Structure 1
């Protein structure tokens, strides 16, 4: 005769107790919270649940958007081009790229009047920052400087998502064409998102000299430093790529990127490294949500403080 336990384990937990939460595994507390026992009890295994965690992050960022940023996001049409990874929030498909774009746009527009601006972007990726800016502000022009393959992608993408009049305002320049820009060409704003840190330091300095001579404002959003933590990605791209990454950009200090005090301290070096010249002033800076070790800053050339005194930047 078979006896059924009224409060017994389900077939699922019979399997879990046999394979993961075993008698020997629970006998030792050392390391159990970062291993298979806790991955069944309280935490999804991050090694196999990357998509779950990404979508949860997207969902929570979407939930925290202000009404102004929700409106900015809605104004960016054709965000589905390229089949992004999305969640559904308040009837909108939302992806990480454009959540970041509207948060960056919120930061920029809170400090400078973007309507009527001539924008230069260095390293535009596939063009989502350009797409977000042009969808929310009446820009005069938008110039993109990038490597050839990235230019091919951004030209195709922006041609697909923008209307004809918007696309006509964009000019695409290879990095080999930068020195050929007209000597009198000036820009109201230069934008760099997550590419200065991937360039040689001397290349970054050359771009900052270009900004100092041709632009009124600079918005930069990049990591404050380097990290060397194989638990984050298993160094899946190999030791050579890790070594190359550790040598690029103006900020080479290896820090604990999940220590807010370490990141905050390193942000002071960030502000100094990306200040184009001595006659430029930091207007605003903050951590660039959602990533723990990214910082954003807006600089202005010859920006006087109220009262006629030039503002000094003690942090940089």
Structure 2
């Protein structure tokens, strides 16, 4: 008996335990990720290039150009006296200057107030950062924006501009991924004829991608992971997850039609299709890890994140899916009767 057959037998015997473990792991990881929050940041460094050496030289000599800047833009609709506007702006800029990753706050006036237009309705100030925009975590940018926005109200508006501020306006996505899952589910329903049979590959992929996403959120506090990494992970994870689970389930259904019982069909499916999933997953992981050798900042974090997604997806296809097949095995045996029974 091969390793894959033993794994299928173990998952079949301990079907509920396997399912509960996956649910608990997913819930625990997301509880920790929700409490910790993410700290995505980008690193566009290009080791060995002249531009990278120039940037390192500027940083070494403490040049302000080593970091980027943000602009605080103010607009007063006329609801406040100019003196009150001045007081609010001065207090706000003093707080912003004390924030982490802020090198200094520049204003055209020597008294530290933001530059105001002739009618006193528009003003601005430049916040010089200690880091590049791509290295500025979204949480830090949000904190800066919240501090600046404290001066708003009574007709006074405060907005943030600059490269780092763009991340605050980006949507969290989710619509495209949801549409993709629904499209895959519809196609699988046409293939297998039932929602339950079509849903198992999707459920397996969602569990795998969801668990890995939570791990990446936590890992972003210790490793440089770009903010676009989760989108790439979802794209690859859902596609690979449904593909791997579909290979196993299609073979499982073929074995049922050939006359095997649910447990025997699961063993044969994992022994044949499980091998394909294992070697295909290992090949993809090795290929992704090859990107790490390039040494390109955020690309390393993305490669590791996607490789981890494929690894967890492969594990889910070899452990969670056989457990689900065991739970619904009797129903599938009725839905896909053996050929001999139909003759």
- Report if TM-score (shorter chain) is over 0.5: no
Ranked by relative contact order (alpha carbons within 8 Å, sequence separation 6 or more), the top structure is: 2
- The structure number with the bigger radius of gyration is 2
Please give the TM-score of this superposition, normalised by the length of structure 2. 0.24
The structure where helix makes up a greater share of residues is 2
Please give the TM-score of this superposition, normalised by the length of structure 1. 0.25
The structure where strand makes up a greater share of residues is 1
